[in-house]
Amino acid sequence: MRAVSFSADNHITLLHNGAAFFPALIAAIDAARAEIYLETYIFAADATASSVQQALTRAARRGVTVRVIADWLGSGHQRSLSLQQEFEAGGVMYRAFNPWFQRGVARMHRKICVVDRDISFIGGLNIIDDMVSDDDLRLPLPAPRWDFAVSIRGPLVATIHLELEAQWMRLGEMKLLARLQQFKRSRVRRPGSAHGPALAGLVLRDNLRNRRTIQRAYLQALGHARQSALLTSPYFAPGRKLRRGLEEAARRGVQVTLLLGVGHYRLQDAVSQSYYPKLMKAGVRIVEYRKTTLHAKVAVIDDDWATVGSSNFDGLSLLVNQEANVVIKDADFSRTLRRQIEAGIADGDAVAADAFDNLSWRARAWHGAAFFLYRLLMRVIAAGNRE
């Protein structure tokens, strides 16, 4: 398990929703001169995704090397086939991650792009329109999906590029010796600086060398928290260690607030709510967001630690899937992200401290059944995870 390796002198910009993210991403792609890597869980078939796809194709046709990875399950089998055909016709190299679960059950849930080894994007946004639901029904949303990404310039981009390059190689046909050499390179920690503005580090989760790195980063930040911790996630079903970290921080006087997305999946809501009573008893404040789909996986702790990325607070993100977050130690960035989270909290519904004191037996039974089914499913998935 690795600690976060930070580098200094990074220029990081917070991008709220697709309205900020997609124009910045397309502008970077259109300015590319040599190379583009892009990874996404969902590469949809809508107008927004088409604009990104066209920009990638334009880059390839002017001689830029363009490599795209999309998750087979997240994008769907038919969409993966059409992407393969359309990208190939446009000169873009494309690979689907784990088709037909050939690599076990783990999914590639990361959302990352690196252009010319100069600028990188990382966060929670898939390549999909903000106003369209990301489930199979493709229902329109009442307001833009609430999500975040960051653009990064500086030394950290080299580290992110190395990871994307390694991912591309892993998905291709690599001989054993090449795999061993790539693994050795991945274990070499690039020297980081402990001084300077915009300290930032890449934090990954996979099933090889970074199994609990993202969870450990959260636990360390919560363990050092002094005043406040704002954490946001659309799916909330944390393991015992993370729950304990939240509770212990709240008990020692830290103002811990969870902003959680609800209303998308009834079973998921019940699983999340089964954790509420114990957390609230410890002093954790919980706010449910219903204005639209909350998809952000972000946090700010004490205005000097922040993270933006793809990892939810559930078993799939923390124990099974490939995830990528960036951890940032910069007061200005943290304050900017804090204001955005506080705006989301203002739009949400705070859960009353006594809301679960007098639940009906039916509600209690539903929460208990949902928790049992979730734990059973996670055990089955974890047992079948052989990535």
pLDDT top residue among 76 and 195: 76
Say if 5 falls within a structural domain: no
pLDDT at 190: 43
When comparing pLDDT for 359 and 299, which is higher? 299
Is 319 a domain residue? yes
Residue written as tokens 């190689």? 169
Residue 173 domain-assigned (yes or no): yes
Domain boundary among the residues 135, 154, 185 is at 185
pLDDT above 80 (res 136): no
Query: Residues 109, 161, 329, 367: which is the catalytic one?
Result: 109
| Confidence at 191, pLDDT banded by 50, 70, 90 | very low
- The active-site residue out of 16, 71, 111, 118 is 111
> What average pLDDT does the structure give for the chain?
91
State the total domains in the chain: 2
For residue 2, being part of any structural domain is answered with no
Q: Is residue 90 part of a domain?
A: yes
Span 75-97, average pLDDT: 97
How many other β-carbons are positioned within 10 Å of the β-carbon of residue 270?
Answer: 18
pLDDT recorded at residue 305: 97
Going 367 to 372 to 375 to 376, the CA torsion angle's sign is negative
**Range in 22-36, 64-78, 132-146 the model is least confident about:** 132-146
The catalytically annotated residue of 71, 129, 147, 295 is 295
Q: How confident is the model at residue 3 (pLDDT cuts 50, 70, 90)?
A: low
Q: Does the residue 101 lie in any domain?
A: yes
Give the pLDDT score at 39.
Answer: 98
Reply yes or no on whether 184 is catalytic: no
Helix (H) or strand (E) holding 58: helix 47-61
Inform me whether the pLDDT recorded for 224 exceeds 50. Answer: yes
- pLDDT for position 378: 84
- Position with higher pLDDT, 212 vs 93: 93
173 pLDDT tier (thresholds 50, 70, 90): low
Q: Assess whether 15 and 140 both reside in one domain.
A: yes
Does one domain contain both 226 and 366? yes
Q: Which candidate in 9, 264, 291, 302 is catalytic?
A: 302
Kindly state the average pLDDT of the residues 164-193: 61
pLDDT (0 to 100) of residue 363: 87
Question: Picking from 116-125, 135-144, 162-171, 261-270, which range would have the lowest pLDDT averaged per residue?
Answer: 135-144
Known active-site residue 302: yes
Q: How far is CA 196 from CA 82, 160, 193, 199, in A?
A: 46, 20, 8, 7
Among the candidates 157, 185, 213, a domain finishes at: 185
- Respond yes or no: is residue 111 known to be catalytic: yes
Question: Does 31 lie in the same domain as 178?
Answer: yes
Q: What is the pLDDT at residue 380? A: 81
Among the ranges given (43-52, 124-133, 226-235, 355-364), the one the predictor scored with the smallest mean pLDDT: 355-364
For position 209, which CATH number holds? Answer: 3.30.870.10
pLDDT confidence of 214, banded at 50, 70, 90?
very high
Q: Is residue 150 part of a domain?
A: yes
User: Higher-confidence residue: 167 or 355?
Assistant: 167
| Lowest-confidence pick of 26-40, 93-107, 176-190, 298-312 | 176-190
Answer yes or no: is pLDDT of 100 > 90: yes
Same domain membership, residue 325 and residue 210? yes
Among 16, 129, 147, 297, the active-site one is: 297
Question: Is pLDDT at 139 greater than 50 in this prediction?
Answer: yes
Last residue of a domain, one of 128, 151, 185: 185
Give the pLDDT of residue 184. Answer: 52
| Catalytic residue flag (residue 303) | no
Tell me the β-bridge partners of 68. 38, 94
Task: Please indicate, yes or no, whether residues 136 and 24 belong to a single structural domain of this protein.
Answer: yes
Q: What percent of the chain has pLDDT over 90?
A: 76
Verify that 130 and 235 share a domain, yes or no: no
Q: Is the pLDDT of residue 31 over 70?
A: yes
What is the per-residue pLDDT for 375?
85
Residue 94 lies inside a defined structural domain of this protein: yes
Compute the average pLDDT of residues 309-330: 95
Portion of the chain with pLDDT greater than 70, in percent? 91
Judgement on whether residues 85 and 19 belong to the same structural domain of the protein: yes
- Do the beta carbons of residue 278 and residue 248 sit within 8 Å? no
Q: pLDDT of 60-83, one tens digit each?
A: 999 999 999 999 999 999 999 999
Based on the fold, state whether residues 239 and 326 are members of the same structural domain: yes
Known catalytic residue: 297? yes
Asked whether residue 120 falls in the same domain as residue 254, the answer is no
For CA atoms 226, 231, 236, 237, the dihedral sign is negative
Same domain assignment for residues 42 and 169: yes
The confidence score (pLDDT) of residue 384 equals 58
Residues contacting residue 8 through CB under 8 Å, at least 6 positions apart: 155, 192, 193, 194, 195, 196, 197, 198, 199
The DSSP H or E segment spanning 66 is strand 65-71
Q: Which of 116, 303, 304, 347 is catalytic?
A: 116
134 with 269, same domain?
Answer: no
Q: 271 and 178 in one domain?
A: no
| Cα-based distances in Å from 312 to 34, 119, 124, 276, 361 | 33, 25, 9, 17, 30
pLDDT band at residue 182, thresholds of 50, 70 and 90?
very low
pLDDT at position 326:
98
Mean pLDDT on 82-99: 98
Residue 24 domain boundaries: 11-185
